[in-house]
A and B are shown apart, each in its own frame.
Chain A
Amino acid sequence: MSVTRDDVKYMANLARLRLTESEIDMYQKDMNKILEYMEQLNQVNTDDVEPLEHVLELPARYRPDTAEPPLQHEDALKNAPDADSDYFRVPRVID
């Protein structure tokens, strides 16, 4: 299995990245290297190995279900590229 230029473009699109032609070439090469390495790992027998989702097998800490004061409304909107007095404003999403 190897990564094609179209695969790179597809992934770039999913990640909302605009790539130049030379960047596409570069990522294609990098990704194929990664896959080659994975192929190497595939030779190891992992039948009895549980998937490792987290490096540290610590249980998730539970937070008590209580509410603290929210962010001030003005502060919440302060860093927005665009907002009105109530809402974040973004370019129209549907036509």
Chain B
Amino acid sequence: MLEAPSPADVPAAEFETVIGLEVHAQLLTASKAFAPVSNRFGNQPNTQVTPLCLGHPGTLPLLNENLVNYIVKMGLATHCQIAPRSIFARKNYFYPDMPKGYQISQFDKPICHDGHIDIELEDGSTKRIRIKRIHMEEDAGKSIHDQDPQNTLIDLNRSGTPLIEIVTEPDISSPAEAYAYLVRIKQIVQYLGICDGNMEEGSLRCDANISIRPVGETRLGTRTELKNMNSFRNVERALIYEIERQRNLVRAGGAVIQQTLLWDANKMETRQMRSKEEAHDYRYFPEPDIPPVIVTPEMLQELQASLPELPEDRKKRFVVAMELPLSDAEMLTDTREMADYFEAVCQAGANAKLAANLIITEVRRVLNEEGVSIGRFPVDPARLAGLLSLRQADTISSSAMQTIFNRMLEDAGDAASIARSLNLVQVSDTSFLEPLVDQILASNPDKVNAYRNGKTGLMGFFVGQIMQQSKGKANPKLVSELITKKINEQG
């Protein structure tokens, strides 16, 4: 173990931060990692268990093929090397929510290693975060300490749930980068459909190793480990707090000691884990009950072929093939469901740019207000495309599109029939519009003259008058064409 540099006189700006993250993702398999029993469970404790989950003697683990399939997909999506042969190991410790006395995990031969993902920084540049390893393991049960003053209660429904742990190299230099990394991980697992990515509910969990060192120093400082950060924002906050704590400590002449800290989201501070909780000597050894995990070239090929288009590639395609601005593409590919929705709208005949605008502004506003995801949005892609094509054909004005959109949230009808029922179909009939134009021009001779003399800004006035006369139904583009034509004819 290297000693921490002790640069008490280094100013804060000359410290750099070194962060490595360990993310656990709970897999959306149908059954548990090593037992053929449901991996989805509700509130009734100790109902989704088998003798294996309870740690009964004589039980043997049977490896779920989807645990392997899902982790290999994750490895491929993060550019990892996939080990053709990997080994399960036992991590030994005693805790009542893990009745067999060891966790089945992987240790020195993980199935995925040496990958990377790219994150976007605030200045628009890209940074590569190297992934050291991704390994398979099982989850423990749940301990409940606050229901019974004398006892701890144990629910083993979660016991044996399949997890993957994604470990980075210490490549992350700030809390903002850590946040961007987590968002990307969440996005990838959701695109792959292997984890729901919900950090608040614990299906994604994050621990951080964090140290500081003077800029230019190549050795790592002594690190602390941060746990218990149960939201993306809390990870960022906890890291900010811990970096500040370490800097203040070192500037005051102290030294960081290696310890595990728990983030307290209510007090917004970290506290030291009790030494008992921290004491670990896991005595890993190869799991004798599970033979080596072999990934054949055929399996690898099949899994590679089954990968969906990943967010990075999809974003690039939206920019290149659909000519969307990068920021729009970023928002539309945020979740796979959103990107699918957008593409379905385009496939139903809508113009990509118009569709992108409406989805980014109006659809996302509604989703935010209602707190729902696109899967529960009441207007399906075909109806939204119908609305957009009315606008594309200039059958409705942009403000009418807004009105119809709002109506469609409650009305299951198609856009065209709503437009008719609300009397919002634009009038593009010149035989109706021409007399109106003539009338407005005739009653404003001074403005017509001023226009001819260069005050072209008056076009807005003319069009406005006609919109008023037509109760908003005139096609403004056609109206301004008519006005230009008439004024030129008269002059």
Contact = CB atoms under 8 A, between A and B. Distances in A.
**Do they bind each other?**
yes
Interface centre among B45, B109, B150 (most CB of A within 10 A): B45
A89 B96 CA distance: 9
By secondary structure, the B interface counts as loop
B96 A16 contact: no
Interface residues of A, number: 35
A60 interface: yes
Q: Which of A86, A87, A93, A94 has the most CB of B within 10 A?
A: A87
B96 to A, nearest CB: 4
B296 to A, nearest CB: 9
Given A53-B87, A65-B29, A67-B37, A93 B68 contact: no
B145 interface: yes
A58 interface: yes
Interface string B26-66: 00011100001111000011111111001010000011111
Interface string B381-401: 000000000000000000000
B63 A63 contact: yes
Contacts of B36: 63, 66-68
Contacts of B37: 67-70
Interface string B277-295: 1000101001010111110
A43 to B, nearest CB: 23
B38 A57 contact: no
B290 A60 contact: yes
B86 to A, nearest CB: 10
Contacts of B154: 87-90
B143 interface: yes
Given A53-B292, A76-B46, A70 B38 contact: yes
A16 B94 contact: yes
A94 B277 CA distance: 9
Interface in A20-76: 53-54, 56-71, 73, 76
Contacts of A84: 153
Contacts of A86: 44-46, 153, 155
B345 interface: no
Interface in B131-149: 143-145, 148-149
Interface of B: 29-31, 36-39, 44-51, 54, 56, 62-66, 68, 87, 92, 94-96, 109, 143-145, 148-156, 274, 277, 281, 283, 286, 288, 290-294
Contacts of A62: 63-65, 68
A74 to B, nearest CB: 10
Interface of A: 14, 16, 53-54, 56-71, 73, 76-77, 79, 82, 84, 86-94
24 contacts: A14-B281, A57-B291, A57-B292, A59-B294, A62-B65, A65-B29, A65-B31, A65-B66, A67-B30, A67-B37, A68-B31, A70-B49, A73-B47, A76-B46, A77-B46, A82-B151, A88-B96, A89-B151, A90-B96, A90-B153, A91-B152, A92-B150, A93-B96, A93-B143
Given A60-B292, A63-B64, A71 B51 contact: yes
A84 B54 CA distance: 16
B47 A93 contact: no
A65 to B, nearest CB: 4
B46 A60 contact: no
B123 to A, nearest CB: 43
A54 B45 contact: no
A60 B466 CA distance: 78
Nearest to B286: A53
A87 B50 contact: no
B291 A87 contact: no
Given A59-B291, A67-B31, A79-B56, 13 more contacts: A53-B292, A54-B288, A56-B291, A62-B64, A63-B63, A63-B65, A68-B36, A82-B151, A86-B155, A87-B144, A88-B96, A91-B150, A92-B145
Contacts of B156: 76, 88
Contacts of B44: 73, 86
A84 B151 CA distance: 11
Q: Which 5 A-B pairs have the closest CB atoms?
A: A62-B65, A87-B153, A59-B294, A53-B286, A65-B66
Contacts of B286: 53-54
